[in-house]
A = this chain, B = another copy of it.
Amino acid sequence: MIENTTRIRVRYADTDQMGFAYYANYLVWFEVGRTEMLRASGLLYAELEKAGVALPVLEAHCKYRKSARYDQMLRVVSRLKEMPRASLRIDYEIFDETDQLLAEGYTTHTFINGEGRPVRPPQVFTAKMREFFSAK
């Protein structure tokens, strides 16, 4: 498993007139979480794209348990629990400063090339993933 924790401050731009963070922003926080998880694993998503491969989202899910509020410092925990193959799934949990679970969810992704066709993950990605998952 690969696991990463990232901290994100709730911006005023994220709030809505209910006084909470607007629900679509959690998906943005998921994106920040998975980017930082990849970075911490030695993989820059920006490098994948330069290699001609993108990782679009196939599916996104979020369960909202407690509202995030302006200026809170959130803790986003991202987990890649299984060795990615044609597709991959990342799980997320978002906590507030008092360690209360605010939201949990997941995204699934596939690899596509510049023409939008599904492709196998690039060699550098698979090699790196094997480092993390072979030990199990």
Contacts and interface: CB of A to CB of B under 8 A. Distances in A.
Contact of A19 (B17, B27, B31, B60): B17
A116 B54 contact: no
A58 interface: yes
A59 B67 CA distance: 12
Interface residues of A, number: 38
Contact of A116 (B28, B67, B116): B67
Interface in A62-82: 62-64, 67, 70-71
Interface string A1-45: 000000001011101111110111101100110010000000011
Interface of A: 9, 11-13, 15-20, 22-25, 27-28, 31-32, 35, 44-46, 49, 54, 56-64, 67, 70-71, 107, 116
For the complex of A and B, the 9 pairs showing the least CB-CB separation, nearest first, are A24-B27, A15-B17, A23-B57, A46-B71, A24-B24, A13-B28, A17-B19, A15-B16, A61-B61
Given A24-B27, A59-B63, A60-B62, 18 more contacts: A11-B28, A11-B35, A12-B16, A12-B17, A12-B35, A13-B28, A17-B17, A18-B49, A18-B54, A23-B31, A24-B24, A24-B31, A44-B71, A46-B70, A46-B71, A56-B64, A59-B62, A67-B116
